[in-house]
Structure 1
Amino acid sequence: MKTSKLILKACALVAYAFLLMMHLVLKDHFQSLQVFFYAVPLPFLIFFGIIVTLLCYRWKLLFIALIGITLSISVYWFYTAYNFKSDGDIPNETTVVLFWNAADAWEFPVEVLMAHIKSAQPDIIGLVETEYASEDDLQLLSKTFPSYEFKILEGFMMVGVKGNITAVNYQSKEASYKINFVEANLNGNTRTFLITDIYQSPTMNKEKAIGAALQFALQNNAEIIMGDFNTPQKSVHFKRFTPHYESLRNYGQGFTATWPFGIPLLELDQIFTNNMFTPVLLQKFYQPESDHALLVGYLKE
C-alpha cells in the first residue's frame, strides 16, 4: 500500500514538473508536445499544483518548496493575465474595431451585435463562426445602420464597415484556417484588415496556420488583424508578429482571457495593428449568446 502511494506521489511530481517545463520553457516549440501546452492552461496547472502539494504534506522540505512554486506560478499567472488599466480618456479621432466569435447559439445574435454597434459605433466590424447569419439579418443591420455596409463572407464570417467595402479576398485550408482580407473606404480613407478563424484542434500544426495569416496580412498590407486564433496568446508562434504588428492585449482591462464565457482561462481572440495606429484601449464584453468575449479596440492614427 505504501509503495503504491509513493508511486502515485512520484508520478504526480513528475507530471507537475513536466507541465511546468511545458509552460515556462518548451511551450509549443514542438508539435509533438504542444497538446500539453494547449490542453492544460495555467489555472488548471495551479489547481494541479495545489493537489500535488497536499499529497506531499508529510515531506516537510518538499512540501514547503511546492507551496513556494505554486504561489509563484499563481502570482506569475495573475501578473501576466490581468490588466489594471482604466478607461481613461479616449481621443475623439479614433478608429474603433469590433471583433467577435459569435458562435455557440442556434441563431445569429443580431440584436446583441446591434446593441454594441450603437454603443461603440465601430468603424470596422469583423465576426467569425456566423453560419446562422441570414440575409434577413443583413437587411436588418443595413436598415438600422444606413451609414454602414455589411456583408456575409466565405468561411462563415461577416464584415461591416462605416463606409463601403471595396474588395474581399478569401483564402482557406481545410481543418487549418480561414482568412478574409478586406479593403474598405472609410470617410475617404482606404483601410485594409484581415479576419481569421483558425481551426481549434490542439494537435494541429498551429505554426503553419498562424504563419499563413501573418503572411497573407503582410502580402496585402493589412493594417489590422483580428481573429479567433484558437491558440493561447503565450504561444511562441505569435513572436513572428512582433516586428510587424502590436497586440491590443496590453491595453485591455481586467483578465486578458477571452474564452470561455466568464472564466479567465484562455486568451484565444486577438486584435493586432501595424505601426499606422497606436493602440489606446481594448474592451471585452461577455454575452451569453457566445462562449467568446466580444472585443472592442480603440486605435489612434
Structure 2
Amino acid sequence: MAYLSTSLRYMKKFARSIRALILVLYVLLLLIHFVIKDHFQVLGVIFYAFPLPILITMGICVAILFYTHKIYILSLLGLVLGMTFFWFSTYYFFTKPVEISKNSTSVLFWNAANRKKLPVDVLSKSITSIKPDFIGLVEAENASAEDIQKLSKAFPNYEFQILKGHMLVGVKGSIEKITFKCKENSHDINFVEAQLSTGHVSFAITDTFQNPTMDKRKTLNTVLQLAIQSNTDVIIGDFNTPYESVHFRNFETEYKSFHDYGQGFSATWPFRIPLLELDQIFVTKSMTPILLEKFHHPVSDHAMLVGYFQ
C-alpha cells in the first residue's frame, strides 16, 4: 500500500509537471505569434506553423487539461475568447455592397496548383463572369499552347501568353513588355507592362518558394525592391508567407494592401479553411483599392483573388 501511495504521488507530480510545461510552451507560442513574430528567421518557422486559428484550438485543449483548476480554466477560456474576437475583427470582413465604377481596373490572380492539366474550363467561366482586365496565374506548369489557343478563341479581346516560372498571363488589351526575374530556391517574378482600356499599367506576378528555412526577410525585400525599381503599379502573387509577417510592413511605404478591402475571411489557403493569407494583391499608393473578392474552386487549394482598383 505504501508503495502504491508513493507511486500515485509521483504520477500526480509528473502530471502537474507536464501540464505546467504545456502551459509554458503555449505561452511561448503566443509570445512568438503576437510579439516576436518572424523578426528572427529561426523563430519564423514556428510563427508560420502556428497561425491564430490553430492557437485558438490549442488554447481550448490546454484549458481542458486544467478543468479541475477553476482559475486556470477561466483565464484560459477568457484568453481564447479574446483571441477569437481578435481573429474575427482582424481577419473577417462582413459582406457589404461596394460600387464598382466603370473606370475601375480589375485583376484576377490564382495559384493553379500545378495540376496535370490547366483548369481552363474553370478559368474560362471566371473570365466570362468577372471580365478581369488583367489575369495572372502561378503554378501553371502544364499550361500548353493548346490552352492558349482555346482561351484566345473564347476571348478574342484578350492576349494570353505562357510565361517563364510556370506562369500564365492574360490581358484585356495588349501586352507591351515582359521581363522575367528569378533566384533559385527563392522566387520567380514576371514584370508585365500592359495597355488596358484604362491606360498603361505595369504588373508584377510573383511566386515565392515554399521553404520553411528560407530567409523571408531577404526574399520579400528583394521582391519589393525589384518592384520599385521597375515602377510596378500592381503586385500580385503567392508569397507563401502569411499576411501577419512583419516583412510585409515594408511594402506599406510604397504600396497599399487589399487585405482590408476583402469580404469574408481573408485567408486564401487551404481550400475553404480560413487558416493562412498567403496570396496577396498590392497596388501603388497613387491607386485606390475598392474591393477584394475570393472564389474557391476544388481544382486548387488556393483561393482565386479578384481585386478592383482605380
- TM normalised by structure 1 equals 0.97
Q: Distance in 2 between matches of 1:34 and 1:182?
A: 31
SS in 2 for 1:32: helix
Aligned position for 1:250: 260
2:25 is aligned with 1:15: yes
Aligned position for 2:5: none
Aligned position for 1:198: 208
Mapping for residues 61-76 of structure 1, pairs under 5 Å = 61-76=71-86
Superposed displacement of residue 275, structure 1: 2.2
- TM normalised by structure 2 equals 0.94
2:53 is aligned with 1:52: no
SS in 1 for 2:97: coil
Q: Structure 2 counterpart of 1:268, which letter?
A: L
SS in 1 for 2:226: helix
Q: Distance in 2 between matches of 1:188 and 1:284?
A: 23
Equivalent residue pairs, number: 300
Aligned position for 1:126: 136
2:289 is aligned with 1:268: no
Q: Distance in 2 between matches of 1:159 and 1:106?
A: 19
1:109-167 per-residue CA deviation (whole Å, 9 max, x = no partner) reads: 01111111111111111110000110000011111111111110100001111111111
2:174 is aligned with 1:164: yes
Mapping for residues 1-301 of structure 1, pairs under 5 Å = 1-103=11-113, 105-187=115-197, 189-300=199-310
Q: Distance in 1 between matches of 2:46 and 2:203?
A: 33
SS in 2 for 1:175: coil
SS in 2 for 1:262: coil
Superposed displacement of residue 67, structure 1: 1.3
Superposed displacement of residue 104, structure 1: 5.2
Q: Distance in 2 between matches of 1:150 and 1:17?
A: 50
Q: Structure 2 counterpart of 1:152, which letter?
A: I
Which segments of 5 or more consecutive residues in structure 2 lack a partner in the other structure? 1-10
Superposed displacement of residue 90, structure 1: 1.3
CA RMSD of aligned residues (A): 1.1
Superposed displacement of residue 75, structure 1: 1.0
Which segments of 5 or more consecutive residues in structure 1 lack a partner in the other structure? none
Q: Distance in 2 between matches of 1:21 and 1:119?
A: 44
- State whether residues 247 and 273 of structure 1, in contact with CA within 8 Å, keep that contact through their aligned partners in structure 2: yes
- State whether residues 123 and 162 of structure 1, in contact with CA within 8 Å, keep that contact through their aligned partners in structure 2: yes
Q: Distance in 2 between matches of 1:172 and 1:207?
A: 16
- State whether residues 39 and 202 of structure 1, in contact with CA within 8 Å, keep that contact through their aligned partners in structure 2: no
Q: Distance in 2 between matches of 1:134 and 1:297?
A: 26
